[in-house]
Amino acid sequence: MISDEEILKSKDVPGPTKEEIRCLVLCKARIKKNDYVVEVGCGTGAITIELAKKAGRIDAIDKNIKAINLTRKNLKKQGLLDRVNIIHGEATEVLKNLKNFDVMIVGGSGGKLQEILNIGSKKLTENGRIVITAILLETKVEAVHTLQNLGFKTEIIEVNISKGRILDRGTMMLANNPISIITGYLQ
Amino acid sequence: MISDEEILKSKDVPGPTKEEIRCLVLCKARIKKNDYVVEVGCGTGAITIELAKKAGRIDAIDKNIKAINLTRKNLKKQGLLDRVNIIHGEATEVLKNLKNFDVMIVGGSGGKLQEILNIGSKKLTENGRIVITAILLETKVEAVHTLQNLGFKTEIIEVNISKGRILDRGTMMLANNPISIITGYLQ
Amino acid sequence: MISDEEILKSKDVPGPTKEEIRCLVLCKARIKKNDYVVEVGCGTGAITIELAKKAGRIDAIDKNIKAINLTRKNLKKQGLLDRVNIIHGEATEVLKNLKNFDVMIVGGSGGKLQEILNIGSKKLTENGRIVITAILLETKVEAVHTLQNLGFKTEIIEVNISKGRILDRGTMMLANNPISIITGYLQ
Amino acid sequence: MISDEEILKSKDVPGPTKEEIRCLVLCKARIKKNDYVVEVGCGTGAITIELAKKAGRIDAIDKNIKAINLTRKNLKKQGLLDRVNIIHGEATEVLKNLKNFDVMIVGGSGGKLQEILNIGSKKLTENGRIVITAILLETKVEAVHTLQNLGFKTEIIEVNISKGRILDRGTMMLANNPISIITGYLQ
Report, as an integer, the average pLDDT of A153-158: 98
pLDDT digits (tens, 9 = 90+) for D107-154: 999 999 999 999 999 999 999 999 999 999 999 999 999 999 999 999
Nearest CB to A177: which of B111, B135, B162? B162
pLDDT digits (tens, 9 = 90+) for C146-173: 999 999 999 999 999 999 999 999 999 9
ipTM of the predicted assembly exceeds 0.90: yes
- Check if the beta carbon of residue C129 is closer than 8 Å to that of residue C183: yes
Residue C76 carries which side chain, given as an amino acid letter? K
- Check if the beta carbon of residue A63 is closer than 8 Å to that of residue A115: no
Residue A56 φ/ψ, nearest 5 degrees: -85, -50
Binding-site entries of A for S-adenosyl-L-methionine: 17, 41-45, 62, 91
What phi-psi label fits residue B87: left (phi over 0), alpha (psi between -120 and 50 degrees) or beta? beta
Q: Which of C104, C119, C121, C92 is nearest to C36 (CA)?
A: C104
- pLDDT value of residue A17: 97
What is chain D's mean pLDDT, rounded? 97
Query: Tell me, what DSSP letter sits at residue D16?
Result: P
- Check if the beta carbon of residue B7 is closer than 8 Å to that of residue B74: yes
Interface of B with C in 23-82 (CB under 8 A): 23-24, 27, 30
Residues of chain C by 3-state class (helix, strand, coil), percent to 5: 35, 35, 30
pLDDT digits (tens, 9 = 90+) for B149-179: 999 999 999 999 999 999 999 999 999 999 9
- Check if the beta carbon of residue B39 is closer than 8 Å to that of residue B93: no
A8 shares contact with chain D (CB less than 8 Å): no
Binding-site entries of D for S-adenosyl-L-methionine: 17, 41-45, 62, 91
Nearest CB to D178: which of C111, C137, C175? C175
Cβ pair D173:C135 closer than 8 A:
yes
Q: How far apart are CA C186 and CA C127, in angstroms?
A: 5
pLDDT digits (tens, 9 = 90+) for A63-103: 999 999 999 999 999 999 999 999 999 999 999 999 999 99
All structural domains of chain B with their residue ranges: 19-185
Q: State the CB neighbour count (10 A cutoff) for residue D151.
A: 11
**Is residue A48 scored above 90 in pLDDT?**
yes
Q: How far apart are CA A169 and CA D160, in angstroms?
A: 25
Residues in D touching B156 (Cβ below 8 Å): 137
**How far is C-alpha C156 from the chain's CA centre?**
15
- Using 50, 70 and 90 to split pLDDT, how confident is the model at C6? very high
3-state secondary structure A119-167: HHHHCEEEEEEEEEEECEHHHHHHHHHHHHHCCCEEEEEEEEEEEEEEE
Q: State the CB neighbour count (10 A cutoff) for residue B9.
A: 15
Q: Which of D95, D145, D139 is nearest to D116 (CA)?
A: D95
Residues in C touching B164 (Cβ below 8 Å): 144, 155-158
Report, as an integer, the average pLDDT of D23-49: 98
With H, G, I as helix, E, B as strand and everything else as coil, classify residue B17: coil
Which of A132, A141, A162 should be substituted to probe chain C, the one whose Cβ sees the most C Cβ atoms within 10 Å? Answer: A141
pLDDT digits (tens, 9 = 90+) for C8-39: 999 999 999 999 999 999 999 999 999 999 99
Residues in C touching D111 (Cβ below 8 Å): 169
What residues have CB less than 8 Å from D87, skipping those under 6 apart? D59, D60, D61, D62, D94
CATH number for the domain whose boundaries are D19-185 = 3.40.50.150
pLDDT digits (tens, 9 = 90+) for B25-53: 999 999 999 999 999 999 999 999 999 99
Compute CA distances C3 → B28, B54, B174, C23, whole Å.
10, 20, 29, 11
- Using 50, 70 and 90 to split pLDDT, how confident is the model at B1? confident
List the helix and strand counts (H, then E) for chain A: 6, 8
Q: Where are the beta strands (DSSP E) in D21-114?
A: 36-40, 57-62, 84-88, 101-106
Q: How close does chain B come to C3, measured CA to CA in Å? A: 10
**How far is C-alpha A30 from the chain's CA centre?**
13
What is chain C's mean pLDDT, rounded? 97
- Check if the beta carbon of residue B173 is closer than 8 Å to that of residue D169: no
* Nearest-by-CA chain D residue for C134: D172
Nearest CB to B141: which of D138, D158, D178? D138
- Using 50, 70 and 90 to split pLDDT, how confident is the model at D58? very high
Residues in C touching D162 (Cβ below 8 Å): 160, 175, 177-178
